[in-house]
Chains A and B, each alone.
Chain A
């Protein structure tokens, strides 16, 4: 048996969880495989991993794996994860969400988790549609395509998730696909141990709804499309704008070392224990205002 198969027995739950709910051709299994390989490779114990998910097809992932697992409400996984991480900082808290989960109902939680730079890993599986509820459009459904709630064509414009998170803050943003599996493993390997808020956006497939409604063929056609339209960031730097048109960048988009929320809150605790109010140095005030990133 190949090593990958052994990992299934080691990390998936045995009793009463299978068959899983995902359709043939769904990208969720590819993401789960990458996640398990990465956790195994990085030698985390199963006890120190907390996997948190929201609602939707991706949300069901937590039930299948033998970690501490929490299946929360729609869009709010990051809020629950924030509470867990701040109480038990030594745990590795990983959050799995879909595009509707993370950027529609959970959009506010996403940008604020990024702004706070809470030490969490967020995996956003982006298949451009609501799968579980039956093919309704999501914030990443492309303009002009069809969805079950856009039978006459979609007239809203899509979020670029990676750019959204990049603008909000955070330590690490990467984009991968379920076709580029080796790259996905490498991105996970960087994102999970990263201190601070780390996001991996993963372009995925939904042959059941997205492809069917939009005449896109099978899951294999989707994977082929990803192969042809993804531009690795290193190559993209050397490509001309006309070559890049219609393509999306994959790889590490942002990787910076900035203090995470826990490190900052540690200072708050130290000041609180020292008693006495936090005193602002009058000479510091103008420097703080000038370095404020909000303008």
Chain B
């Protein structure tokens, strides 16, 4: 079991453990969850680690209650998270919507396994990508990140907390069974090497505080319960003070601000990684563990003299439209490799609009896509 003083040393750990370590390093002090494979190790590590840093681990009666408790903890001022997999992620959708609407920072880790329903316990898939975007009802923006390595499970967990605190929004970490259970040698960053962002607290006296103020940045400062700022939090459409409203001059501005705070900061939120793309005529687009197979396929294609590169999506939502557009000029063919039946390739096609050929390696096999399965599509043209 990991120790707090282990950062900075080489350790052989799995992605789920790294995610838990990242959470502690990011300042997470509350975890509520319900056991589900392949995410349970995150809960197990945090059950061990959080009480030692005066944090709280609680195993709730289901995933709905888990995210409810996480939101309550965040409203009380703590950084809080939960982790689950497909079936539990379905149950959490209700409270993901609440966290969007009430603008409560929190991190939801989904270590994806095959679905629908109980699906494949517990073989890998990336089938929850569109659910992460549209799973909860109503229009809402969402941020989702996807790590491809054990180290990134830690660093993107920190990033997920930073984005959630900065934009007062739930952030979803879309891991998959492979990165969750894979073990790699990593050197976890020391706490002083990490950039950790904490939510902005109100500086005005309580009588001036508007908890849902329309600030230029779009994100109102957030007071914690019990600090003198007595305000109302609800999942109903609300006015600047948080009180329920049915007025059209308050409904639309609220929704617009919820989108604006994310959409005007895409430059900071959206992250991609490129590999051998400079002169590439064909680009493979992939994310999570499938990107590892894609990178191998690119290396083998390069060895055979083909001009192929990799665009790895680190941010899944909001979709990295600009990154795809930037390679459209020189890449005539885009190959989207993912462990679902085309959940990101449809986004790519929407951006490409016929300006390049979009091929897919969309497989749900209960295992990782093999490099040769991607390579054969590269070689087709």
Contact = CB atoms under 8 A, between A and B. Distances in A.
Contact of B231 (A48, A68, A73, A82): A68
Contacts of A181: none
A108 B61 contact: yes
Interface in B39-95: 48-52, 54, 56, 58, 60-62, 64-66, 68-78, 80, 94-95
B56 A86 contact: yes
Contacts of A146: none
Most buried by B among A50, A83, A88: A83
Contacts of A16: 239, 241, 243
Interface string B230-243: 11111110010101
Interface of B: 29-30, 32, 48-52, 54, 56, 58, 60-62, 64-66, 68-78, 80, 94-95, 98, 224-228, 230-236, 239, 241, 243-244
Contacts of B65: 76, 78-79, 82, 108-109, 112
Nearest to A110: B61
Nearest to A68: B225
B75 A70 contact: yes
Most buried by A among B64, B230, B244: B230
Nearest to B245: A16
Given A68-B225, A71-B235, A73-B235, A79 B230 contact: no
A91 B225 CA distance: 9
Contact of A83 (B48, B52, B76, B232): B76
A272 B77 contact: no
Interface string A1-18: 000000000000101110
13 contacts: A13-B232, A13-B243, A16-B241, A70-B72, A76-B64, A76-B68, A76-B94, A80-B68, A82-B65, A83-B73, A86-B30, A272-B49, A273-B52
Classify the interface of chain B: helix, strand, loop or mixed. Answer: mixed
A72 interface: yes
Which are the 9 A-B pairs with shortest beta-carbon distances? A83-B72, A79-B68, A83-B69, A83-B73, A272-B51, A79-B65, A87-B76, A80-B72, A71-B234
A47 B228 contact: yes
B69 A79 contact: yes
A32 B139 CA distance: 35
Nearest to B68: A79
Interface residues of A, number: 43
Contact of B226 (A73, A83, A88, A275): A88
Given A47-B230, A76-B65, A265 B235 contact: no
A186 B71 CA distance: 33
A66 B206 CA distance: 12
Nearest to B52: A272
A83 B77 contact: no
Interface string A58-86: 00001100111111110010111111111
A79 B236 CA distance: 18
A84 B68 contact: no
A88 B98 contact: no
Contacts of A79: 60, 64-66, 68-69, 72
A238 to B, nearest CB: 40
Contacts of B244: 63, 71
B72 A73 contact: no
Nearest to A67: B230
Interface of A: 13, 15-17, 46-48, 50, 52, 62-63, 66-73, 76, 78-88, 90-91, 108-109, 112, 265, 268-269, 271-273, 275
A263 B215 CA distance: 41
B368 to A, nearest CB: 35
B94 A73 contact: yes
A63 B228 contact: no
B51 A265 contact: yes
Contacts of B70: 83
A165 to B, nearest CB: 15
B200 to A, nearest CB: 19
A55 to B, nearest CB: 9
A63 B232 contact: yes
Nearest to B62: A108
B71 to A, nearest CB: 6
Given A81-B72, A87-B73, A88-B225, A71 B232 contact: yes
A167 to B, nearest CB: 16
Contacts of A46: 230
A269 B61 CA distance: 22
Contact of B230 (A66, A84, A272): A66
Contact of A62 (B32, B51, B73, B232): B232
Given A46-B230, A69-B233, A84-B225, A15 B241 contact: yes
Most buried by A among B95, B232, B241: B232
Contacts of A17: 243
A85 B54 CA distance: 14
A73 B95 contact: yes
A85 B234 CA distance: 18
A90 B29 CA distance: 17
Most buried by A among B49, B50, B64: B64
Nearest to B49: A272
Contacts of A76: 64-65, 68, 94-95
B69 to A, nearest CB: 4
Contacts of A83: 30, 32, 68-76, 80
A63 B243 contact: yes
A275 B56 CA distance: 16
A87 B77 contact: yes
Contacts of B234: 62-63, 70-71
A268 B58 CA distance: 11
Given A13-B243, A69-B231, A88-B76, 12 more contacts: A63-B232, A63-B234, A63-B243, A66-B230, A70-B72, A76-B64, A83-B73, A86-B73, A91-B225, A91-B226, A108-B61, A109-B61
Contacts of B226: 47-48, 50, 68, 88, 90-91
